[in-house]
Amino acid sequence: MSTKDYKKLSNNVLEAIGGKNNIKQLIHCATRLRFNLINDIKDVSVIEKIPDVLGTMKVGEQFQVIIGPDVDKVYVEMKDLIEGTENTLNTSNNYNSNESNKNPIFNVFSSILDALSGTMGPVIPAIVASAFFKMLIAILGPELLNILSEQDNLYVLLSFVGDAAFYFFPVIVGYTAAQKFKVTPTLGILMGAILIHPTLISLVEKGEEFSVFGFPMYLSNYSGTIIPVFLSVWLMSYLEKGFNKIIPNSLRSVFTPAFTILSVIPISLWIVAPAGTFLGNYIAAGLFELENIVGFLGIAIIAALYPILVMTGMHMVIIMTLFQVFTTQGFDGFAAPALCYASFSVMGVGIGAFLRLKNKEEKSLAASYALTALVAGTSEPTIYGICTRYKKPFIGLMAGGFLGGIYGGLTKVISATLVPSSSVTSLLTFIGKSSANIINGVIASLISLVAAALITYYFGFDKEEPGLKGQK
């Protein structure tokens, strides 16, 4: 697409969602524009018919327009168009108010997903950067090529740079959560810094009793955690708004930040942060227990269903849990390998569709989707451009992941290195344990790719599908 096309696409999407006055918030991830809208969209098919839009998805209160790997360029054009937006209500008849009579339990669950997605999405670039340096250690260090020893300055440098994002996770999440919950961003950063302050960590390591305003606190090391600061910043959003309402404008810049932190510290250290730690630990423990119960079959099931979870936004729960698992034990032999197999299954569907389709335009699109999955690790073009469009490729998608997961589970493959990528580079996740682990991980991934490609080729399309007839 050219620059002119990006601008046209942005205009078309903006018009279809009700204009800039219908937007409360706009962010983007690797493939999607993520809108928080004032009024819900009544007919999403209008947007889905826009050229270069791959599909739409509603996750919690967030409406997502799936663009693909070019989303950052569309986002820039979109931001230019909505610069200076006033959040006034659009009363167009094409839109329904968000205040609908939905199931309250569904609303709570959707809001949690929306908050997690909006918080964790912006964190991923920092994790990718740090994980890259940890990957270099795994490749160049004693466990593989043995080019660097643990005493080499370069090894030490790569080590602490690779650990930085994981250690300071509360600070990073504090910032992104503050943006999501509309808290002053620096207060979110401060909250994260408080939770990992060296004095607090020293108290935890020594096991010394410590009280906050006369009440004992539960001692816990919050380094590398997500949920404690996430919940604390969520609480801060209400406290800051409350103080802004009662403190005069002339005093607000000084006393609102101070009173917000003063109020949140005891509640966070007494209740919220410890509760977040327990919740995070139980989620991680639940993943381990599931592995013990279902074994290799669970790996296959996750690999088969993960693309569906991506479509619903539920994948953020698994990603958040994996961050916790890698921070806790440094590897994972359950969900992380399954995600790699699922990624290769997506690649296989794109390849199978490319080989099967005869229509030049559709064949070219399938090739671009497959290449995007292989090189960029972006699954949405294949999922929405092939699976959702033709329906039957979902069979190959899920079967490929399942079969790869069966082999990987039986051979006890683990992800020894966190590689937050869905491209062919995701194979690097198997480096760091043994040569057998690498070989079996690669074999399992190739099984997913080949099985998905073959099943898509032979069973992914109806015989009367026009795309199989080609162009004259």
Contacts of 435 (CB under 8 A, 6+ apart): none
pTM assigned to the model: 0.72
- Mention every residue, 6+ apart, whose C-beta is less than 8 A from residue 305: 398, 401
Candidate list 29, 187, 366, 455, residue with the active-site label: 29
Alpha-carbon gap, residue 174 to 188, rounded angstroms = 4
| 388 to 48, 162, 216, 469: CA distances (angstroms) | 12, 38, 54, 20
Catalytic residue status for 387: no
Q: Which helix (H) or strand (E) holds 462?
A: none
Inter-CA distances, 374 with 370, 423, 429, Å:
6, 5, 16
SS3 144: coil
Q: In Å, what is the CA distance from 101 to each residue of 77, 97, 114? A: 35, 10, 18
Q: Is 247 exposed, middle or buried (0-12, 13-18, 19+ CB in 10 A)?
A: middle
Environment class of residue 55 by beta-carbon count within 10 Å: exposed (0-12), middle (13-18) or buried (19+)? buried
Spatial neighbors of 350 by CB under 8 A, at least 6 apart, are 366, 367, 369, 370, 371, 372, 373, 374, 382, 386
Neighbours of 226 (CB within 10 A): 26
pLDDT of the chain, 472 residues: tens digit per residue = 444 578 889 999 999 998 888 888 888 877 788 888 888 887 888 888 888 888 888 776 788 898 877 888 888 888 888 874 443 333 333 333 344 445 555 566 667 777 877 788 788 788 878 878 887 887 888 877 889 898 999 999 999 998 888 889 899 999 999 999 999 999 999 999 999 999 999 998 888 889 999 888 888 889 888 889 999 999 999 999 999 999 999 899 999 999 999 999 999 999 999 988 888 777 777 766 777 788 889 899 999 989 888 776 677 778 777 877 887 788 889 889 999 999 999 999 999 999 999 988 889 889 988 998 898 787 878 888 899 888 999 999 999 999 999 999 999 999 988 887 788 989 989 988 888 999 999 999 999 999 999 999 999 998 888 888 765 4
Residue 59 neighbours by CB under 8 Å, 6+ apart: 110, 113, 114, 117, 312, 313
Asked if residues 37 and 18 have their Cβ atoms less than 8 Å apart, the reply is yes
